[in-house]
Amino acid sequence: MLPTFDPRDTEAGSRILEDITSNAGHIQEQVLEEILTKNASTDYLKSFLNGHSDKGLFKNKVPVVDYEDIKIYIDRIALDGEPSRILTNESITELLISSGTSGGKQKWIPKTAEEGERRAFFFCLLATVQNRYLHGLNDGKALFFVLINPDIHTPGGLVLRTSTASEIKNRKDRYPEVIMCEDTNQSLYSQLLCGLVQRDAIVSIGTFFASGLQRIIKFFEEHWQEMSSNIRTGQMSDWITDPKCKRTVSLILSKQMPDLADSIDLVCQEKSWEGIIKKIWPRTKYVQAIITGSMAQYIPALEFYTGRLPVVSPAYVSSEACIGINFKPLCNPYDVSYTLIPNMAYYEFIPIGNHEDPNCTNSKDAHLKDHIVDLANVKIGQHYELLITTCTGLYRYRMGDILLVTGFHNITPQFKFVQRRNVVLSIDTDKTTEQDLQNAVTIAMHILEPLGFFLLDYSSYADTSSIPGHYVLFWELQLRPNDDTPELDQVKMEKCCSLVEQSLDQEYKLLRNQSNTIGPLEVRVVKQGSFNVLMDFYVSQGTSLNQYKTPKNIKSEKAIEILDSRVVGKFYSREVPNQVS
């Protein structure tokens, strides 16, 4: 049973947080017991536990799985209409579309009414932390951008939607009508317009992932003149036809506001959009967006656009479960750790050796189970891959996320989100992970940063169309004052390519250096807005803008074509990487 409290009652919420983080081990045992007792009779668990609900047996017999291993059960429920009880004795009410890997493949994750309650509890705890540390949030309004996609119905009769759409559609009364609009452009336009008209009331701005905020700023760049003209005339643009948007905006845009339009024009006409958020919404105290893991690459861009406002990375949440809360929301973006919330799921951890390739922890490895530890036994400084077991039918399920334990709150572990388990680039025996690539790109950018450039976004693919194959990185660069086409210095760009190579691991250097199995690394600089076009492409394929994470390795030929057709410069490494460093 989850404790209940009013989310506005910060003291009660804080007491609960202290209590659950002081009893995390005990709570975890209870959670596992509840899951096993409830679900022992499901087809899935019966096949390993023969109807027993013993925790020791669970750890011995139930295998560690990936999505691919349980997909067959999910498909039976989603596509063939078989009952939920093949996986869980809670009744599956929806399937959540998870962006899953940043490689762009979707997963369908079961959701139940009880899981909805658990999520509601989690968000009350999150509100407690925010009320405690983010002062002044109640002195005005929050402008939080939310976009939802239309529902899809599976042949088995279930609704398929993102976790955000699920939360919003199940609690319609709590949200403004405008965010129910399922047309991305109309919704974003209307949300921005509402935010502009109420610009003096806004004290915080946010979205889910930092990449989304960057997209919103670009959208604003393309539409501010039209929005300002709407405000000046008190008339909304004709193309806003969605009734929900029309109703909401017409309430706010009830008269001509030429002074407001002038003041918006003045800010937006400035040559540089540095600090635009602070200038348009001058009372903003905080910006909310996840900036950890692969989102860390957007920190420089956010600092630029927000004018260095504090960026709060509130939580670690996924379609599978709500997992962790940042207890120090005002800390430096690079120091964010999340505290596990022990009532949400049963957690286990696969240790990852310091220099070990995370992909070596193969789920078919018979020894894997011997190394798994539970929450009470994790160690500070150790990397782990997270496994979760939930009431909703996931058992010892690999989240694919690698976490680094950084400390404890009472006895509950806190961790940094490090990376996804996936390898992004591979030629021959080289396996370059998302984290390897991100580190290498960050180091190489030190060459361009003094010239005023920052990296808006990047991606990559292994080009094996010629021999030897080589890695290609697509970079979208931005110059601090908003120039359209930054001037690229050939020598410096080539140095960047070499530095990326130099920062990759020994295996890469060996293959590049000694055996010439990998050719010189290439950076293709793409023109401004290219990654927005890429995002639009993935959104058109069914990805939700809220959950979108730029794929760090592109597999789709169409996506490669999109970036390739926007290349403004190609550069190759001219140096062979030194193997000693």
- Site residues for ligand AMP per CB under 6 A: 98-99, 163, 290, 292-293, 295, 313, 316-319, 399, 401, 417, 420, 547
Burial (0-12, 13-18, 19+ Cβ within 10 Å), 492: middle
Question: Which H helix or E strand runs over 488?
Answer: none
Length of the chain as a residue count: 581
Task: Give the shortest CB-374-to-ligand AMP separation in angstroms.
Answer: 20
Nearest Cα to Cα of residue 480 among 453, 499, 498: 453
Q: Where are the alpha helices (DSSP H) in 490-529?
A: 490-503, 506-513
Q: Fill in the DSSP letter of residue 136.
A: T
- Report CA-CA distances (Å) from 359 to 221, 400, 507: 41, 10, 15
Question: How many CB atoms neighbour CB 135 within 10 A?
Answer: 11
Distances (CA, A) of 330 to 286, 392, 507: 9, 33, 39
Retrieve residue 541's tokens: 């394929």
Rounded to whole angstroms, how far apart are CA atoms 512 and 240? 54
On the 0-12 / 13-18 / 19+ scale of CB atoms within 10 A, 558 is: exposed
| Least spacing, CB of residue 295 vs ligand AMP, in Å | 6
- CB 407, min distance to ligand AMP, A: 17
Residues 350, 437, 369: CA angle, nearest 5 degrees = 10
Sign of the torsion formed by the C-alpha atoms of 231, 539, 142 and 304: negative
Residue-wise over 1-11: b if at least 16 C-beta within 10 A, else e? eeeebebeebe
DSSP 394-428: --SEEEEEEEEEEEEETTEEEEEEEEES-EEEEET
CB of 446 to ligand AMP, least distance (A): 24
Secondary structure of the chain: what % helix, strand, coil (to 5)? Answer: 45, 20, 35
The residue number with the shortest CB distance to ligand AMP is 293
126 sits in the region (left: phi over 0; alpha: psi -120 to 50; else beta) called alpha
Q: Which is nearer to ligand AMP, 163 or 553 (CB)?
A: 163
Beta bridge partners of 109: 96
For the bound state, the minimum distance from the C-beta of residue 167 to ligand AMP, rounded and expressed in Å, comes to 11
β-strands 141-144, 430-433: how paired? unpaired
351 forms beta bridges with: 384
